[in-house]
């Protein structure tokens, strides 16, 4: 009896271990593919980090807020509308409200990166212009 019980435990542990390692390999592969789709290289790594930090992809965030482009005014307007519609006191859902908040947070993270890159390229252009003027 004890022998059969030990065999069941060992087989169960092996099955769980195999399933865990398979799931881990799939997750790593999916993460690598997502990084490639997001632009690859450093840009892909930055997007993957932002996705992990906020728990939501940029595409999903844009779908939640129903925006087509990263326009700060449009994003803010849609956010305020959807956030207020899902207010618990209005009979809304706290879960949906939190999804709207996370979507806005993710888009804000992306907008911050875009503005940062624009400022860097502008400063490089200004430096280049100053150097060529001399």
Give CATH superfamily name and number for 56-133: DnaJ domain (1.10.287.110)
> Two tokens at 91?
């009979």
Low-confidence ranges of the chain (pLDDT < 70): 35-45, 124-134
- For the chain, the domains span 56-133
Tens digit of pLDDT for each residue in 70-99?
889 999 999 999 999 999 888 889 999 999
What's the CA angle centered on 58, arms 52 and 63, to 5 degrees?
130
Q: What b-and-e string marks burial along 48-69, b requiring 16 or more CB atoms within 10 Å of the CB?
A: bebbeebebbbebbbebbebee
Q: For residue 35, what pLDDT is reported?
A: 66
- The per-residue pLDDT of the chain, averaged, comes to 83
Predicted local distance difference test score (pLDDT) of residue 110 = 86
HSE, CB side, 13 Å, CA atoms: give it for residue 23.
Answer: 6
Token digits of residue 83: 């956030």
Q: How many CB atoms lie within 10 A of CB 85?
A: 14
- The predicted pLDDT at position 53 comes to 75
Q: Terminal CA-to-CA distance of the chain, rounded, Å?
A: 91
User: Are 102 and 54 contacting, i.e. CB atoms less than 8 angstroms apart?
Assistant: yes
The number of helices, as runs of H, and strands, as runs of E, in the chain is 5, 0
Predicted pLDDT at 42: 64
Q: What is the pTM of this model?
A: 0.57
Give 86's contacts (C-beta < 8 A, 6+ positions apart). Answer: 92, 93, 94, 96, 97, 100
Q: Answer whether 110's CB lies under 8 Å from 50's CB.
A: yes
């Amino acid at each position: 009896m004890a022998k059969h019980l030990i065999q069941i435990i060992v087989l169960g542990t092996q099955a769980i271990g195999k399933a865990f390692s398979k799931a881990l390999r799939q997750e790593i592969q999916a993460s690598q593919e997502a990084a490639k789709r997001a632009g690859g290289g450093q840009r892909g790594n930055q997007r993957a980090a932002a996705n992990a930090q906020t728990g939501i992809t940029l595409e999903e965030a844009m779908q939640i807020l129903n925006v087509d482009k990263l326009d700060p005014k449009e994003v803010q307007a849609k956010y305020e509308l959807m956030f207020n519609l899902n207010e618990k006191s209005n009979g809304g859902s706290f879960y949906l409200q939190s999804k709207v908040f996370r979507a806005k947070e993710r888009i804000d993270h992306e907008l911050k990166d875009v503005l940062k890159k624009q400022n860097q390229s502008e400063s490089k252009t200004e430096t280049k212009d100053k150097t060529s003027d001399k």
